[in-house]
């Protein structure tokens, strides 16, 4: 499956890298772009422990959204 290319954008002092759901194989791309936090808005298809080992924080918005709509 071909995924769209990552898009970089910025707002004030924050930089964002918008990507298709990251995979374990895309860790190098995240590190290259100095990603420190991932906001998960879809089901995880990656190993969160690997990201956390690389000091990348994973915020789970799915759980918070599901609690809100119930």
5-64 pLDDT, tens per residue?
888 999 999 889 888 877 777 888 888 889 998 888 777 778 888 889 999 998 877 555
What domains sit in the chain, N to C, each tagged with a CATH number?
A: 7-69 (3.90.190.10)
Q: Does an H or E element contain 17, and which?
A: strand 14-18
d(CA 13, CA 51): 23
């Amino acid at each position: 499956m071909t995924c769209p290319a990552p898009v970089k954008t910025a707002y004030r002092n924050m930089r964002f890298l918008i990507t298709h759901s990251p995979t374990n194989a895309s860790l190098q791309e995240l590190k290259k772009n100095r990603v420190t936090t991932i906001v998960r808005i879809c089901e995880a298809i990656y190993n969160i422990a690997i990201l956390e080992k690389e000091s990348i924080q994973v915020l789970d918005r799915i759980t918070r959204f599901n609690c809100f709509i119930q």
